[in-house]
Amino acid sequence: MSKTIKRAFKYRFYPTPEQTELLHRTFGCVRYVWNKALAERTRRHKDEGKNTTYVDTAKMLTAWKQDEESAFLREVSNVPLQQTLRAQQVAFNNFFAKRARFPRFKSRKKSRRSATFQNNAFTFRDGALKLAKTTEPLNIVWHRPLPEGAEPSTVTVSCDSADRWFVSLLVEETITPAPSTGAVVGLDAGLDHLLTLSTGEKVSNPRHERRDRSRLAKAQKNLSRKTKGSKNRAKARLRVARVHARIADRRRDHLHKITTRLVRENQAIAIEDLTVRNMLKNHSLARAISDAAWSELRGMLEYKSEWYGRDLLLVDRWFPSSKLCSTPGCSHVNEKMPLNVRSWTCPSCGTVHDRDVNAANNILAAGLADK
């Protein structure tokens, strides 16, 4: 049965000098409003014992725009400023619900540069997107079409650390579940191989960060030699950011291709419910685990499975998938299984196991048993 979802389509665009200047000012105003509202919320709670709502901060914003010290807020569209107040309210709701930590102040150098426009702050006609207070539409590279008849409800403009400009359009799309298939698969995430399937297939780990490590080291060494605050340092920082962007883009593209194929081919997918954050505390493996991007892989599997009517089966993280013999009728569990042991022979039934394939088979069996 088809269902309607909200989906964001992200595109690269190239702003004019006028648009660049306006958007940079908008980013600065968004950051200023976030920090000022956060400081005021904290002060009111500490000094007056009062909780602050979105309505309260919206009234504050009106007053700030009338103040001479912050009159520059009137130079940009009001909608992104209101949106950042709404985002802050959501952040506090998540904090009070113990789903996230306390909201933090935004840094000019380190925080993400972005601004969100609601449909009353932009026009979209015949493939031309024009933001409030601009005179020309954005020069967007439409590398893929929007769903037929789709009208964006929200537009988010961002500029990454490599100074690349992106626009994300949130639209409603009707998705038809993929044709049913009886195939099921278990996945074992690893470092030697990114994924090992219960079918015996092993997906190679491209190690994008390791492949570009020498290029990254050279760029970072060049950056360290530049004088702080100089134009040459800004150029060197941009070179480092571009290497990081190349790594992230290639990694994301690889993960999208893998997860799309797995969801298309299988009705049910079983994976371990890993706590990657805790695993990163192992400093010997943290860099390799980050490069493998297991959390991003799982996130893609989750939303794609939901979109296309597939079952994602989560297996408890403490399940001894590598130590347990997967041979039917045998339930032998080894006491220890060091990481350097890649194959082992079951002392009970004599079966020779590939460590990763055995783990994938156990994960599949456990996932189907809990379904």
What token pair was written down for 349? 């039934």
State the angle between helix axes of 78-96 and 54-66 in degrees (0 to 180), rounded to the nearest 10: 150
Active site residues: 188, 272, 356
What is the pLDDT of the chain when averaged over all its residues? 94
**C-alpha closest to that of 100 among 111, 92, 109:** 92
From the list 169, 193, 27, the residue with the least C-alpha distance to 112 is 27
Strand segments, DSSP code E, in the chain are: 3-13, 113-118, 122-125, 128-131, 140-141, 154-159, 165-175, 184-189, 193-197, 202-204, 268-272, 311-315, 343-345, 352-354
Sequence length of the chain is: 371
Report d(CA 15, CA 128) in Å as an integer.
13
Per-residue confidence at 359, pLDDT binned at 50, 70, 90?
Answer: very high
Domain of 53, in residue numbers: 3-175
Per-residue confidence (pLDDT) for residue 3, from 0 to 100: 86
The arithmetic mean of pLDDT across residues 201-210, rounded, is 94
For the chain, how far is it from start to end, CA to CA, in angstroms? Answer: 21
pLDDT tens across 7-22, in order? 999 999 999 999 999 9
Average pLDDT score over residue span 354-362: 94
pLDDT over 90 (residue 222): yes
Considering the domain boundaries, does residue 169 fall inside one?
yes
pLDDT beyond 80 at 1 = no
Asked if the structure places residue 147 within a domain, the reply is yes
In this structure, the dihedral spanned by the alpha carbons of residues 169, 172, 174 and 177, taken in order and rounded to 10 degrees, is 70
What is the tally of structural domains in the chain?
A: 1
Contact 363, 272 (CB under 8 A): yes
Q: Is residue 285 part of a domain?
A: no
**Exposed/middle/buried for residue 319 (C-beta within 10 Å: 0-12, 13-18, 19+):** middle
Q: What is the pLDDT of residues 254-305, one digit of tens each?
A: 999 999 999 999 999 999 998 888 888 888 889 999 999 999 999 999 999 9
Residue 274's φ and ψ, nearest 5 degrees, are -80, 145
pTM: 0.89
354, part of any domain: no
Residue 182: pLDDT above 90? Answer: no
- pLDDT bracket for residue 93 (50, 70, 90): very high
Contact between residue 221 and residue 166 where contact means Cβ atoms under 8 Å apart: no
Within 10 angstroms of residue 120's Cβ, the number of other Cβ atoms is 10
Two tokens, residue 148:
């037929």
pLDDT-based confidence at residue 127 (cuts at 50, 70, 90): confident
Do the domain assignments include residue 180?
no
Confidence of residue 228 (pLDDT cuts 50, 70, 90): very high
